[in-house]
Amino acid sequence: MQPGSEPIRSVRNPLVQALRRLHRPSGRKEQGLILLEGTHLLQEALAQGLRPRQLLATPDWLARHGALVERLPDPGRLRIASPEVLAAAATTGHPDGVLLTLESADLPAPAEATPDFVLVLDRLQDPGNLGTLLRTALAAGVEQVWLSEGADPLQPKVLRASSGAALALPIERLAATDLPGRLVAARERGVQLVAAVVPEAGGAAQPYWELDWCRPTALLLGNEGAGLAPTLARLADRRVTIPHSPAVESLNVAAAAALLLLERPRQAHGRPGA
C-alpha cells in the first residue's frame, strides 16, 4: 500500500499547523477533532472501530508497522512526514512516529437510560490523574463518567494516561452549576450517591468495603487539593473512607479510586475461593 500525496517536509505545512492547534481546547472545539499520539493509541482506536480522520507517520514507523497500516479503514488518509515535522506536530518530546486525529462526535456518548455505575469527578485538575482514573473506571465496569469542569478529558496527555480508555467510556463534562441537578435526578431514579472522604472527616463515614456497591451507584470524588465541593458532599447518601496510617494525610485520588471502584466487581464476583 502506498500512502497518498507527497511527503510533508515543512513544519509550516497546513496539516501540521492544524494538528498543532489541537494541542489547545479552542482548536479541538473549532475543528471537532482530538489528537492522539503513538502506536498504542492508534491500536486502541482501531480496536474500538473508530476511523482516523488523518494520520501522520514517519518512513521508519511505516517500515516497522506494515501489518497495522494494512488494518487502516481508509489508507488514503495517511501522510508521510519527516521525524522533524512529526515532532513539530506532537505534544510529546519524543513521539514514536505516528499521530492521528479522530472526530469528537464519533466518541461514545452517554445513554439516556439511568446508568448502574457512574464515576463523578469534581474539578479534577491533573491530566495524569484523570487519565489513570478513566483507565481504572473502564476496568471496573463504570458505565458513564461525569466531570464537573476541571481537566479536559480529550487533551492529549489525558488520552495517553488513559491508555485509550477515554476512547471507550461515555464521558460528559458539565458546568459546576449543572452537576447537582444531575445527581439529584439520578438519586430519584434509585442511584445511591457515595462520597469518598478522608478517614478523619466528620460525619457517618464507613469503611468502603461495608457499602453495598452492587446497588446502582454514583461515586463522587473531589479535587486533588480542596476535595469534594460542599454542595456535592451534602447530596451524598453515603460517605465512605479508606482507613490508612495517619503517617499520610490522604491518598492520591487516583490511588484511592482504584480501591473504591474495584470493590464493586469484587463484591459482585466474591473473593477467590469463597
The answer, as to whether pTM is greater than 0.85, is: yes
Q: pLDDT per residue over 165-207, tens digit each?
A: 999 999 999 998 999 999 999 999 999 999 998 876 556 789 9
Residue 201 is predicted with a pLDDT of 58
Residue 245 is predicted with a pLDDT of 79
**Shortest CA distance to 41 belongs to which of 128, 170, 159, 168?**
159
Q: pLDDT per residue over 133-158, tens digit each?
A: 999 999 999 999 999 989 999 999 99
Q: Which CATH number among 3.40.50.720, 3.30.1330.30, 3.40.1350.10, 3.30.70.3280 corresponds to the domain 14-106?
A: 3.30.1330.30
| CATH 3.40.50.1970 fits domain 117-269 | no
Burial 140-168 (b: 16+ CB within 10 A, else e): bebbbbbbbbbbbbbbbbbbbbbbbbbbb
Helix (H) or strand (E) holding 160: helix 156-161
Domain boundaries, the chain: 14-106, 117-269
Average pLDDT, stretch 230-234?
92
**Shortest CA distance to 263 belongs to which of 220, 217, 208?**
208
pLDDT over 70, % of the chain? 95
Does residue 3 carry a pLDDT above 80?
Answer: no
Residue 225 is predicted with a pLDDT of 79
Q: pLDDT per residue over 81-93, tens digit each?
A: 999 999 999 999 8
Strands 54-57 and 217-221: unpaired
> Taking every pair of C-alpha atoms in the chain, what is the biggest distance, in angstroms?
66
Average pLDDT, stretch 24-35?
96
Cβ atoms of 238 and 116 closer than 8 Å: no
**Shortest CA distance to 146 belongs to which of 125, 189, 175, 106?**
175
Rounded (5°) CA angle 28-34-36: 140
CA distance 88 to 18: 11
CA distance 215 to 16: 48
Cβ atoms of 124 and 221 closer than 8 Å: yes
**Shortest CA distance to 251 belongs to which of 203, 201, 198?**
198
Q: Cα separations (Å) of 236 from 20, 160, 167, 188, 205?
A: 42, 32, 29, 13, 11
Question: Grid coordinates representing 201?
Answer: 472527616
131 CB-side CA count, 13 A? 14
**Confidence bin at 226 (pLDDT 50/70/90):** confident
What is the pLDDT of the chain when averaged over all its residues? 91
**Confidence bin at 273 (pLDDT 50/70/90):** very low
Residue 202 is predicted with a pLDDT of 53
Instruction: Name the strands in the sheet holding 192-196, side by side, starting at the edge strand that comes first in the sequence.
Output: 171-174, 144-148, 117-122, 217-221, 192-196, 238-241, 205-207
Sign of the alpha-carbon torsion through 96, 100, 141, 120: positive
Residue 2 is predicted with a pLDDT of 54
